[in-house]
Amino acid sequence: MPSDAFNQAAESVQSLTVKPTDDELLSLYGLFKQATVGDNTTPKPSVFDLKGKYKWNAWDKLKGKSQEDAEKEYIELAESLVAKYSN
């Protein structure tokens, strides 16, 4: 179950007024999925589904990382993005 700090970090990222880079968004996505679901056991998307493939790879490369560690890294990344992109 995600912590309050994790939920607050997820909410803060949703309210950014400037969109983070694609790489930053993929890192957030991968860490979010690893923290909330655990290791990626879903089949790899079709070669024609580029967006799905990038998201799948971002999550899959975190295989083996504990959900607790992924949650901590997600919070750190979210806080750095809020600091970077807030006016």
Q: Which residues are within 8 A (CB) of 60 and not within 5 positions of it... i.e. 6 or more apart?
A: 40, 44
pLDDT tens readout for residues 11-69: 999 989 899 999 999 999 999 999 999 999 999 999 999 999 999 999 999 999 999 99
Whether residue 30 contacts residue 61, with contact meaning beta carbons closer than 8 Å, is answered with yes
The CATH code of the domain that includes 15 is: 1.20.80.10
pLDDT tens readout for residues 77-87: 999 999 999 76
How far out from the chain centre does Cα 4 lie?
A: 16
Could you report how far apart the first and last alpha carbons of the chain are, in Å? 32
Domain that holds residue 33: 4-85
Whether residue 38 contacts residue 67, with contact meaning beta carbons closer than 8 Å, is answered with yes
Number of structural domains found in the chain: 1
